[in-house]
Amino acid sequence: MAEVRAIVLRAAGINCDMETEYALEQAGAKAECVHINRLIEDKKLLEQFQIIVFPGGFSYGDDVAAGKILANQIIHHLSEPLQKFIDDGKLVLGICNGFQVLVKTGILPGNGSAKQEAVTITYNDSGKFEDRWVYLAPQTGKCIFIEPGRQIYLPIAHGEGKVVTKDEAMLEELKAEGHIAFKYVDENGEEGDYPINPNGSMGSIAGLTDSTGRVLGLMPHPERHVRPTQHPRWSRLYKIGGTRDEGRETRDADGTTIFNNAVKYIQKNF
């Protein structure tokens, strides 16, 4: 197709929409920030897009619980068009608050028995807002957003990021069915306690995907690492023009993998 179109959903309190729009455009999509009220008024508007992103922030001030009010709007006003969007083979990405929304609508994990009451996201074990960089290790090869085998480094910024399942059996089900997209790890790829796992998520879960691999939610922010200079140690790690110093990276910034893979998938399949 000639053009990949992405919608970045806005609502009161969302504050990462412009960065997400920029990241999508850097990946080659034509992105547009759209307020949820506009989409509720004209549900067919969604048909014009192939990617929808629920960006980070504090939708409706995170009143009641993080992402809960926006999730209820989706459930009561947009569940059918959004389900059709997914059934049509299109892509859904939820980042931080957007991940909370996808879980609290039941869109994630989305594997039949794992409905809204089976998985939730709640307050960090530290009891405080966590703002730090973390390593993520991919856990599945079926999610189209993920570059298999590539450990990535992204920032987090949340007070309610702890992924919790109703019991150990549900956690094992998520593992067995490939719903765990990313885990928090250290630089050597090993799981660990705080601050390696910054919020106490069960199973070190940092992100989930659905059974199709076309829906991804994650707590860290890929849109905040789409340029090498956004890395906290960029001058030591990346080759930014000039001389090619040995030992420095030439690959893209880690967050770009999420958006690049999404755009490439749409280009290939639509």
Q: How many residues are recorded in the chain?
A: 270
In three-state secondary structure terms, 136 is strand
Instruction: Determine how β-strand 130-138 pairs with β-strand 152-158.
Output: antiparallel
CA proximity to 58, closest of 201, 206, 160 = 160
How far is the C-alpha of 74 from the C-alpha of 168, rounded, in Å? 29
CA proximity to 212, closest of 178, 257, 258, 235 = 178
SS3 content of the chain, % helix, strand, coil (to 5): 35, 25, 40
C-alpha 82, offset from chain centre = 17
Active site residue 96: yes
Of the candidates 158, 179, 221, 225, the residue annotated as catalytic is: 221
List the structure tokens of 188. 């050597």
Of the candidates 96, 158, 160, 231, the residue annotated as catalytic is: 96
Active site residue 221: yes
Of the candidates 19, 130, 160, 223, the residue annotated as catalytic is: 223
Active site residue 246: no
Helix (H) or strand (E) holding 19: helix 17-26
List the structure tokens of 113. 């028995």
DSSP state of 253: P
CA proximity to 111, closest of 213, 30, 222 = 213
How far is the C-alpha of 233 from the C-alpha of 28, rounded, in Å? 27
How far is the C-alpha of 104 from the C-alpha of 211, rounded, in Å? 17
Q: Catalytic residue numbers?
A: 96, 221, 223
